[in-house]
Structure 1
Amino acid sequence: MNESNLVEPADVPTTRNAYDEVAELYADMFADALAAQPFDRAMLGAFADLVRAAGSGPVIDVGCGPGRITTHLDTLGLDVSGIDLSPEMIRLARADRPDLRYEIGTMERLPLGDAAVGGLVSWYSIIHLPPERVPGVLTEFARVLRPGGQLLMAFQAAADESVEVQAHDHRVTTSYRWSLRGMAELLRPRGFTVVARMHREPDPDERTRHWYLIATRSAEADSPEQG
């Protein structure tokens, strides 16, 4: 089927437009955020080490926004590119780092071949996705990752770990908070094994706790489960 004929779910243009409208404010607000987040830097560093240990390979930053995580991964020596739903975010990313590769696109249909990358970062990029479509996105992540490839995810934590997912009134548009258990249970049948996890309490200007996880795509998982 020609992708141009596919009808976007209603939430996709809502999210795209919302981030287009706040792109410059978002870029300014988070430009130096990593400098004050040692735990974030630690997980990004561990991910970079694991990608290199597995033989490196290109890395894709899915939902890259204005490119702050992409840029950081570049400083860690990875061959990294970014993709984002928001054209305005991609414009800012390209203006800031014209030497890096950025593309407009959707995580539900990544413009990559099978087993194309050695690492994939989803840094708060699934939070606006309705929960029923998350399994399909994780299947897409598995499709583009090489066997033995590394997945790094960050997302806001559900207030109660016994609840898989909770709707959250995000400042930009509706988002969802996940329990670690709920996310891990979706990753497992798609050929992922969680190898590291970190919980972070909210900073004074934040409203939620955070989960970070690194998962390895199994070398035996050649056909990730659909659905």
Structure 2
Amino acid sequence: MAERNDRGSADLDAATARTAGAYGARADEYIAAVGRIGHVAEPDLALVREWALGIAGPLLDVGCGPGQWTRYLAELGADARGVDPSPEFLARARSDAPGVRFRLGAAERLGGRDASIGGVLAWYSLIHTPPEHIAAPLAEFARVLRRGGGLALGFFAGSELAPFDHAVATAYFWPPQLLTTELAAAGFTVARVETRHDPGARPHGAILAVRDG
């Protein structure tokens, strides 16, 4: 079992490195297309804002990219920090928000102390994670969150778990019920589930969950 776990971790690390490299190579293109807070749909902005204002303690923006959400949360008054595996994104994030803390890291390897974070924002941060490895980042979120801490998860929603050709790297549609099952297994209670299909966009899903106490 340990050998399989080690191999699975290595496979996930490799997948994360490939995705980070693909985003880094297209960082400017990504930022121009979707990497600003002004690109966020108003219902999503309202959802995350309401969620963040109810969190006590530090907020960790996992897969922060160029830092648009981290900066937004900091401007709301939150103790927001960003983590991302792409050095190119982090360079832009630090340039755009010099007073905000950013560091290199991946969803499945966040580092830091157990139970030290009040909230985790993972907004479209797990869309490229192979489904067989989804338990690893969810377990890591549970590890760093305090009991009663919050998780806000954004993802591509679908009726079936299925890959698709994303512009940067293979991504996945997730049925919301399947993700809620994975979250429960990781130690979360789901508080809210939303789905929406805006014209010209892929179906959107959002889940708010609480770390079990």
Regarding TM over 0.5, the answer is: yes
Query: Normalized against structure 2, the TM-score is what?
Result: 0.90
Q: 1:101 to 1:200 in 2, by over 3 A?
A: same
| Pairs aligned (count) | 204
Amino acid at match of 2:177: R
CA distance in 2, matches of 1:31, 1:139: 27
Aligned residue runs from structure 1 range 104-123, under 5 A: 104-123=104-123
CA distance in 1, matches of 2:91, 2:100: 12
Provide Cα deviations, 1:45-100, integer angstroms capped at 9, x if missing partner: 1211321xxxx110100000000111111122210000001110001100111110
Amino acid at match of 2:207: L
Provide Cα deviations, 1:29-58, integer angstroms capped at 9, x if missing partner: 22445466111111111211321xxxx110
- Please state whether the residue corresponding to 1:108 is helix, strand or coil: coil
- Please state whether the residue corresponding to 2:33 is helix, strand or coil: helix
Amino acid at match of 1:200: R
1:192 aligns with 2:188: yes
Amino acid at match of 1:19: Y
- Please state whether the residue corresponding to 2:147 is helix, strand or coil: strand
CA distance in 1, matches of 2:103, 2:174: 27
Q: How much does 1:108 deviate?
A: 1.0
1:224 maps to what in 2? Answer: none
2:30 maps to what in 1? Answer: 26
Aligned residue runs from structure 1 range 64-213, under 5 A: 64-158=64-158, 160=159, 163=160, 165-204=161-200, 206=201, 208-213=202-207
Aligned partners of 1:34 and 1:40 also within 8 Å: no
CA distance in 1, matches of 2:146, 2:40: 32
Q: 1:196 to 1:34 in 2, by over 3 A?
A: farther
Aligned partners of 2:162 and 2:174 also within 8 Å: yes
CA distance in 2, matches of 1:47, 1:216: 11
Amino acid at match of 2:205: W
1:15 aligns with 2:19: yes
Q: How much does 1:26 deviate?
A: 1.3
Percent identity at matched positions? Answer: 38
Amino acid at match of 2:116: A
- Please state whether the residue corresponding to 1:10 is helix, strand or coil: helix
Aligned partners of 1:152 and 1:215 also within 8 Å: yes
2:211 maps to what in 1? Answer: 217
2:43 maps to what in 1? Answer: 39
Structure 1 unaligned segments of length 5 or more: list them. Answer: 1-5, 220-227
Provide Cα deviations, 1:179-223, integer angstroms capped at 9, x if missing partner: 10010000112221111121121342x2x100011101111xxxx
- Please state whether the residue corresponding to 1:77 is helix, strand or coil: coil
